[in-house]
């Protein structure tokens, strides 16, 4: 059951250009990989949706990309400060897969360390825009890493259960390659628990709330190609790199990344998948 309580900041650690925000767990359940939490962003009206990156003993850790005032405020937290956290929310990945392959793109790698642990460290492919962002791969030892202009999709071997998270173009490409992939999507949301209807996306021809029906969608309910989730320029530029076909896992799950709603692209921007 989701619950909301103030959690104390245990650590704020740089991971490449990202920040790993570690919070004391309190009474909050870490949930299953791919689920997300609403984190109070100091000085902002609305909380930010972040998927759980790691669940070390007594802690909840989130990977944050400082792309707007809310995520910047989260990255600026100091140990000992407290923020309200609400969760776990959403559905998370199904873990009953036989040949898992995790695929992450940019900040979309956020939920994969927790997922990797749950699946006992399956093969993983991570794509980043450049070497600096690729430093975040340190959170997933053993992962194969590609950077622009290589695309993760080039490395996906058929026959695996793909679990992926990343920018929309990457997810659409994976969906085309691996019809059974579990893909975690993202959309601007105010509440995270079905109240605001802000994160509605087109699923199976109808607008449904991603926070209630997702963020992980199964093949029969992928989003329409015209859907524009909240993906940053940076994320869109990263993680679309192909991977060497070295992995013996099926499709990858995607999950909610640490984006900031204010960095959402306008649908007319053209940098999202058409």
Partner 1 sequence: MLLNASGCLDALVAPDVARQLDAFVTKTITPLPREGNAAPRIAETAHGMLNSIGLANPGRDRFLADNLPQLRELGVPLWISVGGFCTQDYADTCAVLDDAAAIELNLSCPNVDEAPESAAEIVAACRAVTPLPLYAKLSAAHPDITAVALAVAAAGADGLSLVNTLRGLALDPRTHRPVLGRVTGGLSGPSLKPVALAAVYACYAATKLPIVGMGGIASGADVVDFVACGAKEVALGTVLFSDPDACVRIREELAQVHLDDVFALAHAPETVKAGSRVLA
| Residues binding partner 1 (CB under 8 A) | 4, 38, 40, 44-47, 70, 84, 86, 187-191, 193-201, 206-207, 212, 227-230, 233, 261-269
Structure tokens at 68: 């707007």
Q: Which is nearer to partner 1, 59 or 72 (CB)?
A: 72
CA angle 206, 36, 72 (to 5 degrees): 110
Q: Which is nearer to partner 1, 48 or 160 (CB)?
A: 48
Q: How far is 246 from 249, CA to CA, in rounded Å?
A: 9
Q: Which is nearer to partner 1, 95 or 196 (CB)?
A: 196
Q: Which is nearer to partner 1, 66 or 188 (CB)?
A: 188
Buried/exposed code over 254-274 (b: 16+ C-beta within 10 A; e: otherwise): bbbbbbbbebbbeeeeeebbe
* Cα 82 to Cα 31, 105, 263, distances in angstroms: 21, 30, 25
* Cα 63 to Cα 54, 55, 103, 256, distances in angstroms: 9, 12, 16, 11
CB of 169 to partner 1, least distance (A): 16
Q: Which is nearer to partner 1, 123 or 192 (CB)?
A: 192
Residue with tokens 């087109």: 202
Answer whether the bond into residue 140 is a cis peptide, omega within 30°: no
CB of 59 to partner 1, least distance (A): 23
CB of 186 to partner 1, least distance (A): 11
Q: Which is nearer to partner 1, 40 or 65 (CB)?
A: 40
CB of 224 to partner 1, least distance (A): 11
CB of 107 to partner 1, least distance (A): 17
CB of 135 to partner 1, least distance (A): 24
CB of 229 to partner 1, least distance (A): 8
Q: How far is 93 from 106, CA to CA, in rounded Å?
A: 19
Structure tokens at 34: 């791919």
Q: Which is nearer to partner 1, 21 or 211 (CB)?
A: 211
Answer whether the bond into residue 88 is a cis peptide, omega within 30°: yes
Residue with tokens 């600026």: 76
Structure tokens at 106: 């940019």
């Amino acid at each position: 059951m989701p619950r909301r309580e103030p959690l104390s900041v245990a650590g704020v650690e740089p991971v490449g250009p990202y920040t790993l925000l570690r919070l004391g767990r309190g009474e909050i359940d870490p949930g299953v990989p791919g689920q997300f939490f609403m984190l109070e962003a100091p000085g902002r009206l609305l909380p930010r949706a972040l998927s759980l990156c790691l669940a070390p003993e007594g802690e909840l850790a989130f990977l944050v990309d400082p792309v707007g005032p809310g995520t910047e405020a989260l990255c600026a937290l100091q140990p000992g400060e407290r923020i309200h956290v609400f969760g776990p929310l959403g559905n998370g990945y199904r873990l009953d897969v036989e040949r898992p392959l995790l695929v992450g793109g940019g900040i979309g790698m956020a939920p994969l360390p927790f997922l990797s642990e749950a699946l006992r460290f399956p093969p993983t492919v991570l794509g980043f825009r450049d070497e600096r962002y690729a430093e975040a791969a340190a959170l997933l030892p053993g992962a194969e890493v590609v950077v622009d202009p290589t695309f993760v999709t080039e490395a996906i071997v058929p026959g695996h259960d793909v679990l992926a998270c990343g920018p929309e173009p990457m997810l659409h490409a994976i969906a085309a390659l691996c019809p059974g992939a579990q893909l975690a999507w993202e959309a601007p949301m105010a509440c995270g628990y079905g109240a605001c209807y802000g994160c509605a996306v087109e699923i199976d021809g109808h607008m449904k709330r991603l926070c209630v029906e997702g963020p992980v969608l199964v093949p029969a309910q992928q989003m329409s190609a015209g859907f524009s989730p909240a993906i940053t320029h940076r994320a869109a530029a990263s993680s679309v790199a192909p991977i060497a076909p070295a992995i013996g896992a099926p499709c990858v799950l995607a999950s909610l990344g640490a984006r900031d709603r204010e960095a959402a692209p306008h649908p007319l921007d053209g940098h999202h998948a058409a």
